[in-house]
Structure 1
Amino acid sequence: MSYVSLYRKYRSQTFDDVIGQDHVVRTIKNAIKSGRIAQGYLFCGSRGTGKTTVARLIAKALNCTHGPTTEPCNECVECRSITEGSAIDVVEMDAASNRGVKDMELLREGVKYPPMALRYKVYIIDEAHQLSSDAKDAFLKTLEEPPPHAVFILATTESNKIPITIRSRCQQFDFRRGTIEEIGGRLQHVASAENLQIDPGALELVARIANGSYRDSLSLLEQVMAYTGGAVTTADVYTVSGMVDEDALLEIGDMLTRTDTAAAFAMSEKLMREGRDVRELLKSIASHFRDVLELKVKASSLHASDERWTDQAGSYSEDRLVRLIDIFSAAEKELKWNEQHRLALEMALLKAMARTREAVAASASVVPARPTPPPATRPPLDDKPQPPVQPQKPVEQPQAQDAQQPTDSEHALQDSPTTLHEIQRSWQKIMKHLAKPLGKPNVAAVAREGSPVRLEDSVLTIGYTHKWDFHMRRLNPDRAFVEQAILEVLGARLKVSTMLVDEPEAQTPQPEQKEPATQPLLDSLLIDTFDGTMVEDNGKDPWEE
């Protein structure tokens, strides 16, 4: 017999073998026991969670020689034919390639006839959301009133694309993603059956990379087995999957605690030279900082015994970790429109450092407040005349050469209040400063479409009309650059926020007021001299009349 992939070889053959879908299995088993078999089922969930597997188990349970039963024997001709995919009365359709009205017409014609070899005719329609709109409409009547010998099972990864008219005619089950423990237990069972030596850390890593998909975990395990040809280690899983190893992620985390731009470019060069996929790299970095945040808030004890992880968790605040996760997640999404992947990686690293630079600059510019002396108490007035006060010569104090007192201009830079009107008047100047000296023309382009609308508690709100909603969302990750431009132009340290505002109402133009005739003496003089007459200006060219 030819080689069979692990996910096919170890596919669940009974309801008891199904992992992580107890709510689905229990409902279906009770329905079969009581004879309440629905004419239509809708299985929803992400890939690799067992939708098609459970659909085949229903076909076995209904058509087993000893059935309908909740425990198909897997030994009779009916069960074996369904397992091998040769049962003529179990029809599996791929809606992606059979999505038209003609395909539905063939299904409607075929469902009229009774099954040839089995008790029930079972139609399994995979990726049902791929059916065209006309095909879904043509399928409605058959799904609502099928013949008693037919059962329809629809599987989809995008339930929101299934019309409510179809969902209301089916029993809907939502398949859950597998947990790391559930997938890890399944992988351990497969490794034991295949006599495979695998490190516990490698097993857990495969389960993590699978992201809740049982099929993906078995496919990756099979690929790693082919790569090693023997025992499997964590390093092998990192190599085969293309994921960034833990040491590299910790190194990136340590680098971002410093304001070393050269180190960011060196790290980018190193990762690109190793042939890393930037999309997976950004995703791995975001996931790493998520794990660091989880460790910091003590929501998980996975890395609690690792000193490198605990040290890194102590180096970041919760707000900073949330910001880092947001930066790298946004950079991964923007790769859809950005072909310069290396540049996207470098910009994400520099943005992650930007907040640190700003914090360092802010702490360096803080001037300690001078203590205010207590008010002097005035002595009681004495009625006796006081002698006149002799003026004293000013005592010259030697100026210290080393101590540098802050000048008035420096105090003005830190403490001078600003107004909304002043910001609005200087807005274009701020935008030019943002584009040229700060070198952020793209940020200036999206910020220029908004306008300052409110200033409260040192928070400047930039308003965007609804048609510039996209520009507002593009500005949000880069608001720190606008804050820096305001600081350098106006000397005001403000925070920037954005909001949507309504379109200003169009004002009806008022008719122009004609100015009263001036210089009556000059007019009369001209009339008398040239023997003319006074006429009203009607806006027409007299030479065209």
Structure 2
Amino acid sequence: MSIHDFIGQKQVFNRFMGQFRSGMASHAYVLSGSSGIGKKTLAREMAKTLLCTEEPSRAPCGRCRGCKSFDAGSNPNFFEIAPKTRNILIEQIRVILEDITVRPAHGRKVYLIQEADRMTPQAQNCLLKTLEEPPPYAVILMTASNFESLLITIRSRVVHLKLGRYSDEEMRMILRMHGKDSSDTDPAIAYSEGIPARALAITGNKSFVETRELVFSYLFGSGDGNSADCELNQHLSGNKDALSDCLNILESAYRDAMLILCGKTDSLINWDKRDKLMEYAKKSSIQALIAKIEELNGVRSQLKRYINHQLAVDLVTLVPHEV
């Protein structure tokens, strides 16, 4: 794969390649976007492009020493760091700054800082001087889920490339590229919200499929402690990942019910459950469904505050779910 094969993100691609081919590539870029959107993948393809020794119009060629050594993970002019623990520490940035003072034998040196928004303030301030007075041969690439978490002094000295969500057709192309071209890709695309890593994780995931079926059995059940309620509770009790999936599936079902009430059935996420959802929606109201979604968000907030897992499961499954 090369940057020319990268699916989607055409605005980002055109901006970077336009600067690169005109000889006006910036000394620093930050690629921001949701987790799983493809920031690291695109940043590495940008690095390969910058290190290609062919003419800019042909880069990355995939054949030169720069491209081949990059693909082999042995290009001496490429340096990459990521958080070692929860943060990127000042010591990691100092390693970059020590290396960046050494001029390469030819071409550029490219540095990739993954999850740069996890740099400590001290690490960011350490990097700042290099961003203010960059060597002409160096390019610093950074990825960040939250661009605003970077110090304003950092943000003002970089080119910000924001990656957007992918269209359904782009998602299908990405899944096909990864050998995922089966009947379960449409639900995966619907639940992924335009984020490739989510769709890839869902496609063919038997645990997700099982969780989804249990959630809908629970949702369409009587809500009086029947077997579907107990089965879902038991399933979630032993699986923390399944609880997150459950919350997302329930929210998608409530949103689908609202769309049905608004007459917008073409936009349903759970299209294969539309008949049951239409019955469910008839017994619902927009206000009640909004309240249900707010309840789910409340559980999510409590999970972030380290609420007991079983208590969260009980909050979801042992309360009346009719609306």
Q: Give the TM-score taking structure 1 as reference length.
A: 0.52
Contact 1:42 1:173 in 2 (8 A): yes
Could you list the runs of 5+ residues in structure 1 that have no partner in the other structure?
1-12, 225-236, 357-545
2: distance between equivalents of 1:145 and 1:47? 31
Corresponding letter in the other structure for 2:138: A
Query: 1 or 2, which has the higher helix percentage?
Result: 2
Contact 1:21 1:175 in 2 (8 A): yes
Contact 1:41 1:172 in 2 (8 A): yes
Please report how far the alpha carbon of residue 135 of structure 1 lies from its aligned counterpart in structure 2 after TM superposition: 1.8
Contact 1:49 1:214 in 2 (8 A): yes
Name 1:135's counterpart in structure 2.
123
Q: Does 1:107 align with 2:78?
A: no
The C-alpha deviation readout for 1:465-511, integer Å capped at 9, x for no partner, is xxxxxxxxxxxxxxxxxxxxxxxxxxxxxxxxxxxxxxxxxxxxxxx
Rg larger for: 1
1: distance between equivalents of 2:312 and 2:93? 44
2: distance between equivalents of 1:180 and 1:154? 27
1: distance between equivalents of 2:272 and 2:185? 19
Name 1:156's counterpart in structure 2.
144
The 1:203/1:171 distance shift into structure 2, 3 A limit, reads same
Please report how far the alpha carbon of residue 164 of structure 1 lies from its aligned counterpart in structure 2 after TM superposition: 0.3
2: distance between equivalents of 1:325 and 1:245? 17
Contact 1:39 1:151 in 2 (8 A): yes
2: distance between equivalents of 1:275 and 1:305? 21
Counterpart mapping for 1:285-300 below 5 A: 285-300=250-265
Task: Report sequence identity in percent.
Answer: 24
Name 1:245's counterpart in structure 2.
212
Q: Does 1:183 align with 2:171?
A: yes
The C-alpha deviation readout for 1:201-224, integer Å capped at 9, x for no partner, is x01122234443323433454xx3
Q: Does 1:215 align with 2:197?
A: yes
2: distance between equivalents of 1:27 and 1:216? 26
Counterpart mapping for 1:367-516 below 5 A: none
2: distance between equivalents of 1:22 and 1:197? 24
Contact 2:260 2:278 in 1 (8 A): yes
Please report how far the alpha carbon of residue 243 of structure 1 lies from its aligned counterpart in structure 2 after TM superposition: 5.5
Per the alignment, in what secondary structure is the counterpart of residue 69 of structure 1? helix
The 1:279/1:41 distance shift into structure 2, 3 A limit, reads closer
The 1:343/1:250 distance shift into structure 2, 3 A limit, reads closer
The 1:38/1:334 distance shift into structure 2, 3 A limit, reads same
The 1:243/1:36 distance shift into structure 2, 3 A limit, reads farther
Count residues in correspondence: 312
Please report how far the alpha carbon of residue 25 of structure 1 lies from its aligned counterpart in structure 2 after TM superposition: 0.3
Please report how far the alpha carbon of residue 167 of structure 1 lies from its aligned counterpart in structure 2 after TM superposition: 0.5
1: distance between equivalents of 2:43 and 2:261? 43
Corresponding letter in the other structure for 1:69: S
The 1:214/1:126 distance shift into structure 2, 3 A limit, reads same
Corresponding letter in the other structure for 1:29: M
The 1:215/1:269 distance shift into structure 2, 3 A limit, reads closer
Contact 2:192 2:198 in 1 (8 A): yes
The C-alpha deviation readout for 1:318-337, integer Å capped at 9, x for no partner, is 22222222223323433442
Please report how far the alpha carbon of residue 119 of structure 1 lies from its aligned counterpart in structure 2 after TM superposition: 0.8
The C-alpha deviation readout for 1:249-305, integer Å capped at 9, x for no partner, is 4444444xxxx66x2464421212445644432332122111221233233414399
Name 1:9's counterpart in structure 2.
none
Name 1:284's counterpart in structure 2.
249
Counterpart mapping for 1:343-354 below 5 A: 343-347=314-318, 349-350=319-320, 352-353=321-322
The 1:345/1:52 distance shift into structure 2, 3 A limit, reads closer
1: distance between equivalents of 2:101 and 2:313? 59
Contact 1:122 1:153 in 2 (8 A): yes
The C-alpha deviation readout for 1:406-464, integer Å capped at 9, x for no partner, is xxxxxxxxxxxxxxxxxxxxxxxxxxxxxxxxxxxxxxxxxxxxxxxxxxxxxxxxxxx
RMSD, aligned CA: 2.7
2: distance between equivalents of 1:305 and 1:209? 14
Q: Give the TM-score taking structure 2 as reference length.
A: 0.85
Name 2:312's counterpart in structure 1.
341
- Higher relative CO (Cα under 8 Å, sequence separation at least 6) belongs to 2
1:31 to 11, 19, 32: 19
Name 1:488's counterpart in structure 2.
none
2:67 to 60, 75, 79: 79
Please report how far the alpha carbon of residue 315 of structure 1 lies from its aligned counterpart in structure 2 after TM superposition: 2.7
Name 1:204's counterpart in structure 2.
186
